[in-house]
Amino acid sequence: MGVRDLNFREKVPVGILGATGAVGQRFVSLLSSHPWFQIEFLGASENSVGKAYGKAVHWTLSTPIPEEVAQIPIQKCVPEAAKCTLFFSALDSSVAYDTELSFAKRGFVVVSNTKAHRMDPDVPLLIPEVNAKHLALIEAQKKKNKGFIVTNPNCSVIALSLALKPLYDRFGLEAVEVVTLQAISGSGHPGIPSLDIMDNVIPFISDEEEKIETEPLKILGSFDSGKIDYASFKISAQANRVPVTDGHMACLSVKFKEKPSEKSIIDAWTGFTGEAQVLELPFAPAHPLQYFEEENYPQPKLHRDLNRGMTVSIGRLRKCPILDNKFVILSHNTLRGAAGGAILNAELLVKQGLIFW
């Protein structure tokens, strides 16, 4: 794959499937001022079809609905209705599988947030700084469908994989234990009833622990002979919902193959960059990982918006009496963990010459 020399006379026309939800709103907000992409299509459920976006959506972001988008009528999520090249999917997981596939079969590129196709053997589960090489899987998809699907990982898994990648490469990993403290916006809108979550912690999020225990092994796997060989270390996850609006935190304990010093772990994080930074993608933060020395950092309120919500904050590195070391990570679940991460994926596809318009 060559790197495309971009000289944008026309922006890439894009659609958003599930545009009215918690993640869909982030897409609308971020894409409305994107230098490469132009929103042309908004899709949602039958309840919203036919209404102007501004009337259909229950807007929850602190920035206003972009004026030019508020007037766009919502359409059905069917490929026949669509004239775009690229679709971002923030669909409810109950409808995502078939809908995303139908768009790919009609020749469109689908960049998805949903779990539907993440573990398909020929679908890249992509984080541009971590596994850009996995884009080679697209060739296999193109043999079946005219278009293709690229997915981003679960919102907790994105931060986890970014924080583990430089450690995995330098020191090797044997085991990871992770306890998450996940924000309410992770369950969409309206999500969990306020009386259930205020003054409370819920120690269960459906399917979440399974995703955290498996997706990083695909992401950190190596691409070889047309397929991905999964990483082989073990992950044990416990997921909790906490009364924070945005920002997923996770407390990790890690066992390494080679035992690093604390300084070399911090150096591995602070020096870490990837393909997104090399290609200077518009949504790439200069530093995907930032380590804080303060003993009470990171915190959702203070750090979730770091570098437009695209940097993972890390802190509290110390010895673990059971495994080797423990630390805390934090990232914005609807920015780096969803819409921002998907936009970064789409930017990589454009730059690699995989999207034509």
Q: Which residues sit at the interface with ligand NAP, rule CB under 6 A?
A: 18-24, 44-45, 47-48, 77, 90-93, 95-96, 113-115, 155, 185-186, 188-189, 333-334, 337-338
Q: How far is the CB of 261 from ligand NAP (least distance, A)?
A: 35
How far does the chain reach from its first CA to its final CA, in angstroms?
Answer: 17
Q: How far is the CB of 18 from ligand NAP (least distance, A)?
A: 3
Q: 260 or 341: whose CB is closer to ligand NAP?
A: 341
* Residue number, nearest CB to ligand NAP: 21
Q: 138 or 342: whose CB is closer to ligand NAP?
A: 342
> Which of 299, 266, 336 has its CA nearest to residue 113?
336
Q: 47 or 71: whose CB is closer to ligand NAP?
A: 47
Q: How far is the CB of 143 from ligand NAP (least distance, A)?
A: 27
Catalytic residue selected from 117, 248, 287, 303:
248
Q: How far is the CB of 185 from ligand NAP (least distance, A)?
A: 5
Query: Between vectors from CA 215 to CA 190 and to CA 221, what angle results, nearest 5°?
Result: 155
Catalytic (active site) residue 134:
no
Asked if 313 contacts 292 with a C-beta cutoff of 8 angstroms, the reply is yes
| Total residues found in the chain within this entry | 357
Catalytic residue selected from 155, 287, 303, 332:
155
Helix axes 340-351, 22-31, angle to 10 degrees: 50
Catalytic (active site) residue 155:
yes
Q: 23 or 329: whose CB is closer to ligand NAP?
A: 23
Strands 325-331 and 222-224: unpaired
Cβ neighbours for 270, distance < 8 A, ≥ 6 positions apart: 287, 289, 290, 291
Furthest C-alpha separation in the chain: 59
Report, as residue numbers or ranges, the catalytic residues. 155, 248
